[in-house]
């Protein structure tokens, strides 16, 4: 598994949370980005985090993960993925991509996804809920990196997922689809946690 990496996407504007920053919201007593970076690092896999700039407040919360600056992040998630993929070392043979606003994704979920990967049969693996609803993270073998390097706009890697075979990997409950983008979604999630 040492040739796998994790790429956390944390360069977006968080515009639907304005004026708050969803990745700086506290979860378990720390900013969400810090928590997600820690969980990624706990896997033992090389971990990278896209951020708007090295001077952005988020940069202080990437922990031991490697920050990747995305100065034109306003273009959307596509540029964030593109920039992150371009920065990966040549030795990486597959990458787990995860938006950083998914607080229910645990270290064991990332490890579970990584363990499903086989270099003998490198295919896209996508996390899904217990009822089969696809979500995140998504594991892309290197043979798809070239396609990921052409992404643009804010639809992420949907075009790649639509045009390539994808194997679903079930995670517990609704973890694979619980992303928190708005004050309302944060409030509901926190209420359900208590």
Which domains are delineated in the chain?
Answer: 4-192 (3.90.550.10)
Residues 16-28, mean pLDDT to the nearest whole number: 86
- For residue range 57-112, list pLDDT tens digits in order: 999 999 999 999 998 888 888 889 999 999 999 999 999 999 999 999 999 999 99
Q: What DSSP letter does each residue of the chain carry, written as one string? A: -TTEEEEEE--S--GGGTTS-GGGSEETTEEHHHHHHHHHHHTTSEEEEEES-TTSGGGGG-TTSEEEE-TTGGG-HHHHHHHHHHHS-TT--EEEEEETT-TT--HHHHHHHHHH--TTS--EEEEE-TT--EEEEEEEEGGGHHHHTT--TTSTTHHHHHHS-EEEEE-STTGGG----SHHHHHHHHHHH-
Residue 17 confidence (pLDDT): 77
Share of the chain above pLDDT 90, in %: 71
Residue 175 confidence (pLDDT): 94
User: Higher model confidence: residue 33 or residue 120?
Assistant: 33
User: Higher model confidence: residue 107 or residue 165?
Assistant: 107
């Amino acid at each position: 598994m040492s040739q796998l990496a994790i790429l956390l996407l944390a360069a977006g504007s968080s515009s639907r949370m304005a004026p708050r920053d969803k990745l700086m919201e506290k979860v378990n007593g720390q900013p969400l980005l810090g928590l997600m970076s820690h969980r990624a690092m706990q896997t033992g896999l090389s971990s990278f985090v896209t951020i708007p700039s090295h001077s952005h407040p988020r940069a202080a919360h990437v922990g031991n993960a490697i920050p990747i600056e995305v100065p034109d992040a306003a273009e959307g998630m596509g540029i964030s993925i593109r920039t992150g993929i371009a920065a990966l070392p040549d030795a990486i043979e597959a990458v787990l991509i995860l938006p950083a606003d998914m607080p229910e994704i645990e270290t064991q979920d990332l490890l579970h996804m990584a363990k499903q990967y086989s270099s003998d049969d490198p295919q896209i693996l996508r996390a899904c809920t217990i009822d089969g609803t696809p979500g995140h993270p998504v594991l892309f073998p290197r043979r798809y990196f070239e396609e990921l390097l052409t992404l643009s706009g804010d639809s992420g890697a949907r075009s790649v997922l639509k045009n390539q075979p994808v194997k679903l990997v079930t995670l517990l409950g609704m973890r694979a689809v619980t992303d928190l983008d708005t004050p309302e979604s944060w409030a509901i999630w926190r209420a359900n946690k208590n």
